[in-house]
Amino acid sequence: MLPRSIEEVLESISEWVERLNEEYNDDVIVVEGVRDRQALVNIGVKLRIVHLNKGMSVLSFLENLKRGRRPFEETGPFNRILIMTDWDRTGGRLASRLEESCRDLDMPCDIGQRRELSRLTRKWIRDVESLDSLYRRSLI
């Protein structure tokens, strides 16, 4: 069942964050930009989060991440990549490219958490970076 009120949305997101931190702690999240990364950190996500470097192709980005090359030396080993792009058209296309490239590189990935977060918040926000403002709005 989808949340109906802002309070239900925030409770659902909090449960999602808790589950993410417990079940996916050996994974790495890939987001589109720095603000997306910061928004996830601000709502309590404790996983390693990396953002796409606009100067690299998706394939190069994933190859460097997989091998721990610059700028990912400190990321360390991980089990799989959690794709967490925005749920607009551009984010959907990027998520598809990431998923396809992960398959090409034989890297396990998960797009289900993106779908879950999108499902929970679609009525209120359309991108990852807005999670921050959703929380702040509810505190007023």
- Distance CA(93)–CA(110), nearest Å, equals 15
Output the pTM of the full model: 0.92
- Distance CA(80)–CA(28), nearest Å, equals 7
Tens digit of each residue's pLDDT (9 = 90 or more) over 54-67: 788 999 999 999 98
Give the helix, strand, coil percentages of the chain, each rounded to 5: 50, 10, 40
Look at residue 132 and tell me whether its pLDDT is greater than 90: no
Tokens of 135: 């929380």
Confirm if 105 and 61 have CB atoms less than 8 A apart: no
Q: Exposed, middle or buried by CB within 10 Å (0-12, 13-18, 19+), for 20? A: buried
Tens digit of each residue's pLDDT (9 = 90 or more) over 3-21: 678 888 889 999 999 999 9
Look at residue 125 and tell me whether its pLDDT is greater than 70: yes
- Distance CA(39)–CA(18), nearest Å, equals 15
- Structural domain boundaries in the chain: 6-139
CATH number of 6-139: 3.40.1360.10
